[in-house]
Amino acid sequence: MAEINGCTVLTPADTAELLAWGTMHTDGAYTTLIGAIPVGIPAPPLHVHPTTDEAFYVADGQAAFRLGDEEISAAAGSLVFVPRGTIHTAWNAGDIPTRGLIIISPGNVEHEFVPVETDG
């Protein structure tokens, strides 16, 4: 990661592991999680975030999302916005790591993960 004239530059080497960035740089406007989801990692349980919105950008690979009762596929270049309170989960649906970022807003509140009970 480099700081140049007040700007931040991240390279793929900086994001080999999941990197959280942005809260301090944006006065809490948002936090960004940058990294990759390996092949075969199970999706987190269905959940909601009561106080934060999420925007998922798929930079490489293939992701899948369950948004409420609908399931969608998101190829590289896709953006999926999930408003706070929306039941959802996401996973790598391809055969290569899915690289991308998640923008969480606002970034200055707890990004609470609340699992949702499902039937069956």
**pLDDT computed for residue 120 by the predictor:** 56
21: Cβ contacts below 8 Å, ≥ 6 apart: 1, 8, 10, 31, 32, 34
Asked if residue 2 is part of any domain, the answer here is: no
> Quick check: 16 pLDDT over 70?
no
**pLDDT computed for residue 44 by the predictor:** 95
> Quick check: 101 pLDDT over 80?
yes
Domain count, the chain: 1
What pTM value is reported for the model?
Answer: 0.90
**pLDDT computed for residue 18 by the predictor:** 82
**pLDDT computed for residue 54 by the predictor:** 98
pLDDT digits (tens, 9 = 90+) for 32-65: 999 999 999 999 999 999 999 999 999 999 999 9
Asked if residue 6 is part of any domain, the answer here is: no
pLDDT digits (tens, 9 = 90+) for 66-85: 999 999 999 999 999 999 99
d(CA 5, CA 88): 38
d(CA 65, CA 92): 9
**pLDDT computed for residue 118 by the predictor:** 78
Asked if residue 55 is part of any domain, the answer here is: yes
Q: Domain of 18: which CATH number?
A: 2.60.120.10
